[in-house]
Amino acid sequence: MQDTIHGICRSCAAMCPIIVDREDGLPTRIIGDKHNPVYWGYTCIKGREMVNQVRHPDRLFSSIRREKDGSFTPVSSAQAMDEVAQKLKRIIDEHGPRAVATYAGTYIFTYPATQPVSTAWMNAIGSNMMFTSNTIDQPGKSIAPALHGTWQAGPQVFDDADTWLLVGVNPIVAHSGGVPNQNPAKRLKDAVERGMKVIVIDPRRTECADRAFVHLQPKPGEDAAILAGMIRVILKESLFDADFAQANVQGMEALAQAVEPYTPDYVAARAQIPADDLVLAARTYAQAKRGGATAGTGPNMAPHGNLTEYLLLCLMSLCGRWLKAGERVPNPGVLGPSFAPRAQANAPWPAWGYGEKLRVRGFTDAACGLATSALPDEILMPGEGQVKALISIGGNPLMAWPDQNKTLKALKALELFVCLDIQKVHNSCHLADYTIACKHSLESPAMTLPNEMLSYFGTGFGFSVPYAQYAPPAAVLPEGADVVEEWEFFYGIAKRMQIALEIKVAYSWTTTSGEPRRYRFDMENKPDTDELFAALCDGGRVPLATVKSEPQGRVFEGEDVFVEAAEAGREARLQVGDATMCAELTSIAQEAQDKDADFPFRLISRRLHHVMNTTGRNNPRQMRKQRYNPAYMNPADLLSLGLKDGDEVRIASRYGEIPGIVEAEDGIRSGVISMSHCFGPDPENPGPVREFGSNVALLSSVEHEVDPYSGIPRMSAIPVRVLMP
Ligand SMILES: Nc1nc2c(c(=O)[nH]1)N[C@H]1C(S)=C(S)[C@@H](COP(=O)(O)OP(=O)(O)OC[C@H]3O[C@@H](n4cnc5c(=O)[nH]c(N)nc54)[C@H](O)[C@@H]3O)O[C@H]1N2
Ligand SMILES: Nc1nc2c(c(=O)[nH]1)N[C@H]1C(S)=C(S)[C@@H](COP(=O)(O)OP(=O)(O)OC[C@H]3O[C@@H](n4cnc5c(=O)[nH]c(N)nc54)[C@H](O)[C@@H]3O)O[C@H]1N2
Ligand code: SF4
Ligand SMILES: [Mo]
């Protein structure tokens, strides 16, 4: 039987609405929904190719256990949970709950129930050792607001802004934010056509830079200096919003002092950009009426990521880029709670130095979470508190974590390693004692709550209109399939360990005041995913049932909500002169400029359109142009090294060396190599670079050049040299 239903793509955080053609319940074609008012029919190859992912030969429809000889045996999910629960109990009895850690990777975000239930389970066993990919991604996005404070009413939105600053973020390819992730290419094009002046800071002429009014193409890793330079121009020329600053901002003198060394000429020389362009960027940003600013993975993975994110917030606050009293609230909430904010600051809060203490390199819990880069050493280092068991949830530690050699050693040292995955590819699952076969995103209900809550993550994230969608499963399972949702695994092992689960904090509850909410699980009768969705949406502005009744998704307008004036006597201010950040600015201005002379190139991070980190690499249709991750370089650099497209080189940093296949890309500045992550062969079973690509994580060290709070190592702007094979 053929039919067509509405669905939600969950291959990335954009959560595009899709139309799924099916044959007997099995997807045969996925296209965008051109009638959707927010996405206008957008999809990408990663989403459309899910038709080849649900029944891919690598797909797991049964959990697997790795035997002592390295072979794999299929086991039922019930048996896998029995055995895992038993082993966990023993580990906790012998070593205490801290010996158990979780790592949440990419595929936790689009599954609303996973994070609350896995956290409830960790709370129940008494372990704080919860790690996520956030601390190897954009940890500055969580650290900076803690140091600066937040604006209750949120930022001005992209839709009516006349300037927008994108720093090392490329939403046209990544659909991650910066430009809201609903059809970002069209959004950016339309905005420029209506007069928006886009400013891009990126060493590469990206798809977004093609639309820029000013494109600063700096030496990588100089973003903090560039933003300090822009702030200095704005302060010197009095281009800031004096009324807003007077009422809501503190620390202006400290900031002015810290940016003083960053004259246009100094920044131009450091970052190797024209001084006039820097001044133009500063004036363009400050003189526009409305605007926003977003940084992405590029600067967050380069040194000084927290500072870059912090200076962006300072720039926003100096220019009053926040919603003011009396303005209409663009998104008053749909599945999440009603949002009726005031035009006032929330004071800064501690960014680090509390909660769980790690045994390595002095890390504590922090606004971004625990340092994932320290987890391998927490596993390898003997002594009290040593981590013995790790559960990876929709992640791929072996391919994604910095310093692959150490990661490999650590994963092999575990007493119990469990991966929750949909497929078994040449990756972490090969090392896992149990791989729990999970439902594909098309096989379970979906809703857009995570994307809605993303607006709290940064400027240019989430929905700027009250849009929502709920979709029932869009693909049936084959007969005999034994797959679980990630949250069901945690429920299952909790039940076997005879512990009760309770959700105490859910991201969708955090903005409500009054009585704290709780969701206590019935440990006898398992709830279903829809019941959990209902609990997470409890208190939402629009009932989940209403959203369910419109399966194609829509904008749920209600009565207009306006930002209210600040409470009388409100004292909280946005802090632009944080002492740690100002001291970091001062020290950057003093650092030697020639310390990397032996490493003349800088290797930077990038996303590839056709794959999502490691996901998609086993689909020949997604890899039809290239099977590997090219080392993209400026054509003149290739010429001067005597290289041509397709030649193999070696790329060496201070900490490691990888092979690379070079390819010319006109838009890359000279001296830069742009290369994507999550490639490379199984390190224990090396294969040809033209087949597997190479793993750039081998170029980073988790011991040197790491951020003191998030632990993120230098994963972009890495000093490297090019060697002939
Ligand atoms: N050097 C360097 N390192 C990096 C980066 C970089 O730019 N440079 N980027 C960093 C960033 S931003 C991130 S977020 C991390 C990514 O780090 P991870 O999240 O650890 O890596 P992924 O490859 O995204 O892992 C996804 C895994 O989930 C599986 N999967 C796919 N779909 C599903 C599903 O629906 N359910 C479940 N349960 N599993 C599924 C895939 O098979 C795969 O094994 O890597 C980081 N590492
Ligand atoms: N197609 C696709 N989409 C994805 C992913 C994917 O793998 N493929 N991954 C997803 C994930 S996990 C994430 S976190 C997001 C990330 O989303 P983004 O942060 O937008 O990631 P990129 O597209 O790599 O954009 C980062 C940009 O930073 C630039 N850059 C690198 N180093 C520097 C630097 O030192 N300074 C400056 N100014 N720029 C620099 C790079 O040239 C690149 O253009 O994307 C998500 N979306
Ligand atoms: S942008 Fe993301 S959500 Fe949209 S179709 Fe592509 S993978 Fe799916
Ligand atoms: Mo990421």
Average pLDDT over residues 505-522: 72
Average pLDDT over residues 523-539: 95
Note whether 91 and 22 are same-domain residues: yes
State what percent of residues in the chain have pLDDT above 70.
99
Last residue of some domain: 537, 562, 586? 586
The tens digit of pLDDT for each residue in 166-213 reads 999 999 999 989 999 999 999 999 999 999 999 999 999 999 999 999
Q: Phi/psi class of residue 613: alpha, beta or left (left: φ > 0; alpha: ψ in -120 to 50)? A: left
CATH number at residue 682: 2.40.40.20
For residue 631, the enclosing domain spans 596-723
Residue nearest ligand 2's atom 27 by CA:
168
Q: Return the structure tokens found at 345.
A: 């600051």
Note whether 582 and 600 are same-domain residues: no
Average pLDDT over residues 238-244: 98
* 299 CA → ligand 2 middle, Å: 9
Note whether 581 and 700 are same-domain residues: no
Confirm whether 472 is domain-assigned: no
Confirm whether 567 is domain-assigned: no
Last residue of some domain: 586, 612, 638? 586
Residue to substitute in 141, 164, 605, 665 for testing ligand 2 pocket (most ligand atoms within 8 angstroms of CB) = 605
The band of 1, judged by pLDDT with boundaries at 50, 70 and 90, is: very high
Confirm whether 327 is domain-assigned: no
Indicate if ligand 3 lies below 6 Å from the C-beta of 44: yes
Note whether 306 and 259 are same-domain residues: yes
Q: Would you state the pLDDT for residue 408?
A: 97
Q: Let me know: does 103 contact 372? Beta carbons within 8 Å.
A: yes
Q: Would you state the pLDDT for residue 513?
A: 53
Confirm whether 618 is domain-assigned: yes
Q: Let me know: does 167 contact 459? Beta carbons within 8 Å.
A: no
Last residue of some domain: 558, 586, 614? 586
Note whether 603 and 580 are same-domain residues: no
- Tally of domains within the chain: 3
Q: Let me know: does 641 contact 454? Beta carbons within 8 Å.
A: no
Note whether 206 and 245 are same-domain residues: yes
Q: Would you state the pLDDT for residue 274?
A: 98
Q: Would you state the pLDDT for residue 553?
A: 98
The band of 539, judged by pLDDT with boundaries at 50, 70 and 90, is: confident
Confirm whether 528 is domain-assigned: no
- To 5 degrees, how large is the angle CA 377–CA 706–CA 403? 50
Average pLDDT across the chain, whole number: 96
Spatial distance between the Cα atoms of 75 and 71, rounded to a whole number of angstroms: 13
CATH number at residue 316: 3.40.228.10
Confirm whether 470 is domain-assigned: no
Q: Would you state the pLDDT for residue 74?
A: 97
Q: Would you state the pLDDT for residue 725?
A: 83
Q: Would you state the pLDDT for residue 593?
A: 78
CATH number at residue 122: 3.40.50.740
**Does the pLDDT of residue 456 top 90, yes or no?**
no
Residue ranges around ligand 2 (CB below 6 Å): 12, 106, 137, 167-171, 173-176, 201-204, 206, 220-221, 223, 296-299, 302, 604-609, 611-613, 674, 716-717
* 465 CA → ligand 3 middle, Å: 19
The band of 427, judged by pLDDT with boundaries at 50, 70 and 90, is: confident
Which of the two residues, 515 and 390, has the higher pLDDT score?
Answer: 390
Average pLDDT over residues 106-111: 96
The tens digit of pLDDT for each residue in 620-658 reads 999 999 899 999 999 999 999 999 999 999 999 999 999
Confirm whether 171 is domain-assigned: yes
* 105 CA → ligand 1 middle, Å: 6
The CA-atom distances, in angstroms, between 91 and each of 121, 163, 387, 463 are 16, 55, 10, 43
The CA-atom distances, in angstroms, between 246 and each of 153, 320, 586 are 18, 11, 25
**Does the pLDDT of residue 584 top 60, yes or no?**
yes
30 pairs with which residues across the strands?
Answer: 20
SS3 439: coil
Q: Return the structure tokens found at 240.
A: 């800031």
Q: Let me know: does 718 contact 652? Beta carbons within 8 Å.
A: no
The tens digit of pLDDT for each residue in 686-722 reads 899 999 999 999 999 999 999 999 999 999 999 999 9
Indicate if ligand 3 lies below 6 Å from the C-beta of 611: no
**Does the pLDDT of residue 219 top 70, yes or no?**
yes
* 209 CA → ligand 2 middle, Å: 13
Residue nearest ligand 1's atom 25 by CA:
395
Note whether 296 and 191 are same-domain residues: yes
Q: Would you state the pLDDT for residue 514?
A: 58
Note whether 277 and 362 are same-domain residues: no
**Does the pLDDT of residue 512 top 60, yes or no?**
no
Note whether 190 and 122 are same-domain residues: no
Q: Would you state the pLDDT for residue 511?
A: 47
Indicate if ligand 3 lies below 6 Å from the C-beta of 406: no
**Does the pLDDT of residue 498 top 90, yes or no?**
yes
- Could you say which ligand is closest to the alpha carbon of residue 300? 2
Average pLDDT over residues 95-118: 97
Note whether 188 and 303 are same-domain residues: yes
Confirm whether 580 is domain-assigned: yes
The candidate with the shortest Cα–Cα distance to 63, out of 53, 77, 83, is: 77
Note whether 242 and 370 are same-domain residues: no
Note whether 69 and 171 are same-domain residues: no
Q: What is the pTM of this model?
A: 0.98
Residue nearest ligand 3's atom 8 by CA:
47
